[in-house]
A and B are shown apart, each in its own frame.
Chain A
Amino acid sequence: MRQPRAWLAALGAALLVTCVPPLVSGGDDRTTGTAIPGLRVLVPNAPGGGYDLTARTAVKAMEEAGLSKNIEVFNLPGAGGTVGLGRIVGERGNGRLAMSMGLGVVGSVHTNRSPSTLADTTPVARLIEESDIVVVGKNSPYRTIQDLIRAWSARPRSVPVGGGSSPGGPDHLAPMLMARAAGVPPRQVNYVPFDGGGELTASILGGKVGFGMTGVGETRDQIAAGELRPLAVTGARRVPGIDAPTLKEAGLNVEFTNWRGIVAPPGLSDRDRDRMVALWTELQRTEQWQKALRDNGWTPAFLPGDRFRAFIAAENGRVASVLKELGLA
């Protein structure tokens, strides 16, 4: 009785070992031009965060469009994305790893004094961008951006600015750059950070802060309902559906968008690098990704390879100069 059962168990185990792995990783050999077998995408913040959404949405579009199969998305959150950045930089030469990131990581590198920087990575592509928006509650005395700038330049400390990111993050940088353009020294800006969107929107609605600066997407519905009044958007172009000028049109020489993109480990072979850039370039053409852009209200801002590298360097310079002035870098 004992013997046959042991044999059966051994046979079962052998079958499991030999048959299951090929089933799980099946499809890898069917390489199309773009596929990267065993690709993993690192998300440097928690599930549900911005980089996480971007990565998971993009990966889903890739898989559905058949660009590459069985892509694994995993999270390694910490220190505003710099823990994940450290990991990417440590995976030198690994052509099967990519990381979703954005402007927030550029600032975190400085505020966390991270030993690894984005200059150490291989930039793959910028994917999307979102304009920031200057908003006030419906009962606010400021009706136009000029009203606000006048009051703000006169007494900057008594017009607190609420934003959804900690110092070094996008919502912190935007008012600092705007202040510079308006002739207010950034050190005079009374920036009040809030956790994510909820508390911030409540504070703007309740008139606790003078004005708020945050992503357009987080305020869209509140604006449609007439609870928040948009005063200006920070990007180069007006945002459809939002009745507000750009800062440039309002006479402030500043342009600012929050963006997200993909970087890969350093030291990739030319072949690996081209293959990675090609995969994310192909993604742009898929119907699935275009639909995801519309559903999420993301503005496409594709910028591949070396042009993305130059862009990161320019953003880094701008961020560093603001943070230096504030004593944060």
Chain B
Amino acid sequence: MDAFTHLLDGFGTALTPAHLAFAAIGVILGTAIGVLPGIGPAMAVALLLPVTYGLDSTAAFIMFAGIYYGGMFGGSTTSILLNTPGESAAVVTAIEGNPMARSGRGPQALAAAAIGHFVGGMVGTTALVLLAPAVASVAVDIGAPDYFAIMVLAFVAVTSVLGASRLRGLASLLLGLTLGLVGLDQMTGQSRLTFGTLHLSDGIDVVLVAVGLFAVGEALWVAAHLRHGGSSPIPVGRPWLSRDDLRRTWKPWLRGPLIGFPFGAVPAGGAEIPTFLSYATEKRLSKHRDEFGKGAIEGVAGPESTASASAAGTMVTMLTLGLPTTAVAAVMLAAFQQYGIQPGPLLFQRETDLVWGLIASLFVGTVLLLLINLPLAPVWAKLLRIPRPYLYGGILFFASVGAYAVGGDPVDLVVLLLIGLLGFAMRRFGLPVLPAILGVILGPGAELQMRRALQISDGSLTGLVNSPLAVAVYAVVAVLLAWPLARRLVRAARR
């Protein structure tokens, strides 16, 4: 009950006209910045930090929260319309969102994303209010073996997106894993596959790989096949979600937070793995499994809701423990210090007004995002009416600007182009692109957590299974693997 009264006070803080205006500015800025690939929400907050020096701390943090939520959402717009993910949490959205847009269902995809974001944000933030202390105490008990077990689970789920040919799917996955190896090894400081250049020693950003394989690869592919006249513009269908769409999306919207929120709250969680797990789950549960890969609306609704709930989860560990679980949270923590506020376990008691004002403004920001973006969905979708040569020219432009913005390094443009050529070649030889992206996302994380677990146990293999959560996750993995086999055996026995 205590939390409830505090929250009401928080709304009192957040709903003053000035703070409401800052939340709106934050949301709009965040969306605008999230649209550009390369400039993620973390960089947006960091770059805007000096702008807020003149504000009082509550106003500044309300604005940051708006930028964060807005940035998480903005990435999905370009993902859907242009196949150019604005940031890593939106990579998965492109898989179904872009085919939807190209078959004239862009407004529906955008609406599914916007509402998914709204639902995820609302459920996630409510969970933040109700569960924060409980989640926080569990979060520190999760260690490297548990993370590794979850990564193994994710790898098992990869098999569902390998495509028609297992061999090609695995080849693509291996390409991704190789790209993920590039850079300085975090555990030992040895450089791998950097070809002696310092520019590669931080590895290749996931967004760069996604934009290269998805957007540049496709632009090259289209350019190579456009010669014969077929430049009919993409049809723009009816603007709103139909009853059938709603019937298909309400469950994914509600399932999203179940996956996203816990991942956001644990220290090594983030948004990439849960969005992918959500995608795999929706594909498994959907009645329209054959539509996946060609534009299934569930594949947009689920991951978007997950991404948004994971952002709320991030706030839990940041506010209750003072632990940053994502880059954005790290920047926001640094910002706390600029205002002379020590983030950490005492924050809730010391800065009650600020914290609850911030939480209330998360609700406000979520509502504002929906109000601003839902009416815009049909407008954005008209973008696709642009004749294809210009459209793809624009995509290449955005992709290059984004790649350069990641690090301000011209070498990134060369890397982008090379990955684009790889994407072109993969399309030419029928290799699915998705497993490669997953390799880049999952590979480095899985390797890091496994080696960390083994190092903590000083090389003993028991270090991988010495926690109840890890064992439970491996049990799920075993069931998933044994299920098709068991079903076949049962069927054979019946005959």
* A224 contacts partner chain B, Cβ-Cβ < 8 Å: yes
Instruction: Report the count of interface residues on A (CB-CB < 8 A).
Output: 56
Q: Is the CB of A83 within 8 A of B184?
A: no
Partner of A46, one of B46, B143, B458: B46
CB-contacts of A221-241 with B (<8 A): 221-222, 224-225, 227
Most chain A C-beta atoms within 10 Å of own C-beta, residue among B339, B344, B347: B344
Q: Is the CB of A48 within 8 A of B323?
A: no
Docked Cα-Cα span, A47 to B50, in Å, equals 11
Residues of B close to A82: CB separation below 8 A: 198, 201
Residues of A close to B325: CB separation below 8 A: 198-199
Q: Is the CB of A112 within 8 A of B143?
A: no
Measured CB to CB, the closest approach of chain B to A265, in angstroms, equals 18
Residues of B close to A198: CB separation below 8 A: 267, 317, 323-325, 329-330
Measured CB to CB, the closest approach of chain B to A220, in angstroms, equals 6
Q: Is the CB of A46 within 8 A of B343?
A: no
CB-contacts of B386-432 with A (<8 A): 407-409
Residues of A close to B140: CB separation below 8 A: 202-203, 205-206
- What mask results when residues 275 to 298 of chain A are scored 1 for a CB within 8 Å of chain B, else 0? 000000000000000000011110
Closest B residue to A86 by CB, please name it: B198
Closest B residue to A50 by CB, please name it: B334
* A267 contacts partner chain B, Cβ-Cβ < 8 Å: no
Partner of A208, one of B42, B143, B199, B339: B143
Interface size bucket, B side? 35 or more
CB-CB under 8 A for A224 and B344, given A47-B331, A112-B198, A197-B324: yes
Residues of B close to A77: CB separation below 8 A: 202, 407-408
Q: Is the CB of A78 within 8 A of B143?
A: no
* A257 contacts partner chain B, Cβ-Cβ < 8 Å: no
Most chain A C-beta atoms within 10 Å of own C-beta, residue among B49, B143, B201, B458: B201
Docked Cα-Cα span, A208 to B452, in Å, equals 10
* B231 contacts partner chain A, Cβ-Cβ < 8 Å: no
Q: Is the CB of A221 within 8 A of B455?
A: no
- What mask results when residues 153 to 177 of chain A are scored 1 for a CB within 8 Å of chain B, else 0? 0000110100000111000000000
Residues of A close to B198: CB separation below 8 A: 78-79, 82-83, 86, 112, 114
Docked Cα-Cα span, A297 to B344, in Å, equals 15
Residues of A close to B45: CB separation below 8 A: 48
Q: Is the CB of A112 within 8 A of B458?
A: no
Partner of A297, one of B189, B191, B323, B337: B337
Q: Is the CB of B202 within 8 A of A79?
A: yes
Residues of B close to A67: CB separation below 8 A: none
Residues of A close to B473: CB separation below 8 A: none
* B186 contacts partner chain A, Cβ-Cβ < 8 Å: yes
Closest B residue to A204 by CB, please name it: B140
Residues of B close to A206: CB separation below 8 A: 140-143
* B16 contacts partner chain A, Cβ-Cβ < 8 Å: no
Residues of B close to A86: CB separation below 8 A: 198
- What mask results when residues 428 to 459 of chain B are scored 1 for a CB within 8 Å of chain A, else 0? 00000000000000000000000010011010
Residues of B close to A296: CB separation below 8 A: 337-338
CB-CB under 8 A for A208 and B407, given A190-B455, A225-B345: no
Residues of A close to B322: CB separation below 8 A: 201, 221-222
Docked Cα-Cα span, A208 to B139, in Å, equals 13
- What mask results when residues 63 to 83 of chain A are scored 1 for a CB within 8 Å of chain B, else 0? 000000000001111111011
Partner of B458, one of A52, A190, A221, A294: A190
Residues of B close to A245: CB separation below 8 A: none
CB-contacts of A21-58 with B (<8 A): 46-48, 52-53, 56-57
Q: Is the CB of A295 within 8 A of B345?
A: no
Q: Is the CB of B189 within 8 A of A74?
A: no
CB-contacts of B337-354 with A (<8 A): 337-340, 342-347
Residues of B close to A297: CB separation below 8 A: 337
CB-contacts of B148-202 with A (<8 A): 184, 186-189, 191, 198-199, 201-202
CB-contacts of A5-30 with B (<8 A): none
* B321 contacts partner chain A, Cβ-Cβ < 8 Å: yes
* B47 contacts partner chain A, Cβ-Cβ < 8 Å: yes
Measured CB to CB, the closest approach of chain B to A162, in angstroms, equals 9
Q: Is the CB of B346 within 8 A of A208?
A: no
Partner of B188, one of A80, A167, A201, A227: A167
Partner of A221, one of B50, B330, B339, B345: B345
* A125 contacts partner chain B, Cβ-Cβ < 8 Å: no
* A60 contacts partner chain B, Cβ-Cβ < 8 Å: yes
Docked Cα-Cα span, A233 to B205, in Å, equals 36
Measured CB to CB, the closest approach of chain A to B439, in angstroms, equals 20
* B43 contacts partner chain A, Cβ-Cβ < 8 Å: yes
Measured CB to CB, the closest approach of chain B to A179, in angstroms, equals 16
Q: Is the CB of B408 within 8 A of A75?
A: yes
* A111 contacts partner chain B, Cβ-Cβ < 8 Å: yes
Q: Is the CB of B337 within 8 A of A209?
A: no
CB-CB under 8 A for A76 and B184, given A48-B46, A160-B458: no
CB-CB under 8 A for A224 and B346, given A158-B458, A197-B323, A202-B321: yes
Residues of A close to B471: CB separation below 8 A: none
CB-CB under 8 A for A222 and B344, given A111-B189, A160-B456, A295-B337: yes
Q: Is the CB of A78 within 8 A of B409?
A: yes
Q: Is the CB of A47 within 8 A of B43?
A: yes
Docked Cα-Cα span, A46 to B43, in Å, equals 8
Measured CB to CB, the closest approach of chain A to B326, in angstroms, equals 8
* A192 contacts partner chain B, Cβ-Cβ < 8 Å: yes
* B327 contacts partner chain A, Cβ-Cβ < 8 Å: yes
- What mask results when residues 312 to 324 of chain B are scored 1 for a CB within 8 Å of chain A, else 0? 0000010001111
* A93 contacts partner chain B, Cβ-Cβ < 8 Å: no
* A193 contacts partner chain B, Cβ-Cβ < 8 Å: yes
Q: Is the CB of B345 within 8 A of A222?
A: yes
* B14 contacts partner chain A, Cβ-Cβ < 8 Å: no
Residues of A close to B339: CB separation below 8 A: 295
* A328 contacts partner chain B, Cβ-Cβ < 8 Å: yes
* A251 contacts partner chain B, Cβ-Cβ < 8 Å: no
Residues of B close to A46: CB separation below 8 A: 42-43, 46
Q: Can you list 17 A-B contacts with CB-CB less than 8 angstroms, sorted by A residue number?
A: A48-B46, A48-B330, A52-B46, A56-B50, A79-B201, A80-B184, A82-B198, A112-B191, A166-B186, A167-B188, A168-B189, A199-B268, A201-B321, A201-B322, A221-B345, A221-B346, A297-B337
New A-B contacts (20) at CB < 8 Å, excluding given A78-B407, A79-B201, A222-B322:
A47-B47, A47-B49, A52-B46, A78-B198, A78-B202, A79-B198, A80-B201, A86-B198, A168-B189, A190-B456, A194-B452, A197-B324, A198-B324, A198-B325, A198-B330, A206-B141, A221-B347, A225-B345, A227-B345, A295-B340
Which 7 A-B pairs rank lowest in CB-CB distance, beginning with the nearest? Answer: A221-B344, A47-B46, A167-B189, A48-B331, A48-B46, A225-B345, A79-B201
